[in-house]
Amino acid sequence: MTAPFNMPDEFVRGFFKSGQTLLQAYTGAADTAPEDAAKPLPGLALAQAQAHYWQQQMALYMGMMASATAGKAAATVEPERGDRRFNAQIWNENPWFSLLKQTYLLNSRLLHDMVEAAAVGAKEKHKLRFFARQFIDSMSPANFAATNPEAMTAAIETQGESMRTGFANLLEDLKRGRISITDESAFEVGRNVAVSKGTVVFENELFQLIQYAPLTAQVAERPLVIVPPCINKFYILDLQPENSFVRFACEQGQTVFLVSWRNPDADLGHITWDEYIESGAIKALEVGRAISGADKVNAVGWCVGGTILSSAIAVLRARGEESVASLTLLTTMLDFSDPGDLGVFIDEQGVSQREQTIGRGGIYSGGELGFVFQTLRANDLIWPYVVNNYLKGGSPQAFDLLYWNADGTNLPGPMYAWYLRNMYLENNLCKPGRLSMCGTPVDIGRIDMPSYIFGTQEDHIVPWKGAYRSTRLVGGETQFVLGASGHIAGVINPASKNKRSYWADGEPGDDPEGWLATAKSHSGSWWTHWIEWLRPHAGKEVAAPKRAGNAKFKPIEPAPGRYVAKHPPEVMSA
């Protein structure tokens, strides 16, 4: 077993602080519990958890003894549904490994019960759950060579070659600074991902704007301007033709402009949040509108890209500009009161530390950011690859989405520190006039055009109820849609594959559960629902443009452009 790489200070501090909190909860060393603390007395709860634990342990050992003569393991404790760590038959058939597995599961449940019974406030309880889960996941016997029967078998069958290959894989990943989660040699940006035909028509130090070639003879008069997250590369929206959101939109007669954020290096360590608004989103909207010659554009933002886009539109509306016909927000938070598991990393100490170290200039490493997101699903994105790559000497499979996931980006320190404080820590964006951006007081209630707000049911980054709250914050008519699956797979759900499902047309109101109870379930992709919602806002049909750009914004280079490269060449001035 090995520790993941690029572990940020927030994770280390949170891990040890949570352990201290749990210890204090059961020793009486903590201060008086807050009003929202759990009701049971810690001593009594601990005694009940221990009693239940020993009852299960006795049942396990008695079962093991009774089945020893038969040479077959007893199954007293089973993994939860969906837990694939112990799928191999040897974990069930071999009495020793079965005992090891079940003892681990019992110990895990004891720790879980202790966390649930701890008399601490809701916020601390959330942190305890998260870091206890990290500890539990990391201590699985499957993660250690000496206690993983599959790794042992592979070593014997290959005469130690699997161990040598695993060690070589580990050394290679140490050079990279991250765990390999896909076969990166199978993909190349511009060759078999990000292959939709297009042209870079504008660039400044912050982003390139790609205009994609039309796929229909007639196109909507108003173009589509997409602002993706700046914490990842844009091509999640254009992976391969069969799952490309960009291609789908073009096939539906949309003229698509897409922001390709530059991966910041030390030269961009001074960039602020306001510059992402003014020189980023606002500029992209301006250029897309100018090239198309339309009165307005339709705008799409995803995750933090949606937060940036919403902020930009609020600034434009405060200036009296009405250049956006509709807004689509994909798994985006405007109200950060419930940030999900990401909230466990945010506190005054951590934010102040970032402000002091990189808040006035510097870079927040994409490797650290990537690790944070991996911990949210450690049993999917960390430990399976530790076991496969290092213990078994295997190679990860080729998967375009995971290739994109591994292609991380940095963030400018001033922008990142401001974002942490004003969004995650203080939740200022949803408070009218609380923030000023680009010299303008911001009220997202002034976003008064129609909005399509999309959340996903299993989102671990933007909980769907948090996404739903945007319907109560923006000022225009809203349509909320809830997709199946998670933050990425729920969005990238191609219409052609007709997979998963979504919910729509629930009764609007303050209660997201009330909305869901009245919503209608639809099979297939939300993409088809969205494009029908968009059409009334897209204007009349006009002849598709014969070339990209115009006299002012001339073609610079073919898509996907230089900025998406791992190490982009020198940047031209705007």
> Is there a contact between 253 and 219 (Cβ–Cβ < 8 Å)?
yes
> Residue type at 507?
E
H or E segment at 329?
Answer: strand 324-330
Residues in Cβ contact with 518 at an 8 Å cutoff, skipping those fewer than 6 apart: 506, 507
> Is there a contact between 105 and 85 (Cβ–Cβ < 8 Å)?
no
CA angle, corner 369, sides to 245 and 282, nearest 5?
50
- Cα 488 from Cα 570, distance rounded (Å): 31
> Is there a contact between 480 and 455 (Cβ–Cβ < 8 Å)?
yes
Nearest to 14, CA basis, from 184, 189, 131:
131
Q: What is the dihedral of CA 117, 123, 128, 130, to 10 degrees?
A: 130
> Residue type at 315?
V
First to last CA, the chain: 49
Bin 190: left if φ > 0, else alpha if -120 < ψ < 50, else beta.
left
303 included as an active-site residue:
yes
Q: Computed over its alpha carbons, how large is the radius of gyration of the chain?
A: 26
85-104 as b/e: b if 16+ CB within 10 A: bbebebbbebbebbbbbbbb
CB-count exposure of residue 442 (10 Å: 0-12, 13-18, 19+): buried
Q: How many CA atoms does the CB half-sphere of 90 hold within 13 Å?
A: 11
Q: How many CA atoms does the CB half-sphere of 538 hold within 13 Å?
A: 23
Name the token pair of 480.
């909320």
CA atoms 357, 359, 361, 363: torsion sign: positive
Bridge-based pairing state of the strands 501-504 and 256-261: unpaired
CB-count exposure of residue 42 (10 Å: 0-12, 13-18, 19+): buried
Residue with tokens 């909507």: 220
Nearest to 10, CA basis, from 377, 350, 356:
350
How long, in residues, is the chain? 574
Collapsing DSSP to helix, strand or coil, 449 comes out as coil
H or E segment at 574?
Answer: none
DSSP conformation class of 469:
G
Of 230, 250, 303, 430, the catalytic one is 303
Name the token pair of 53.
């634990």
| Residues with active-site annotation | 303
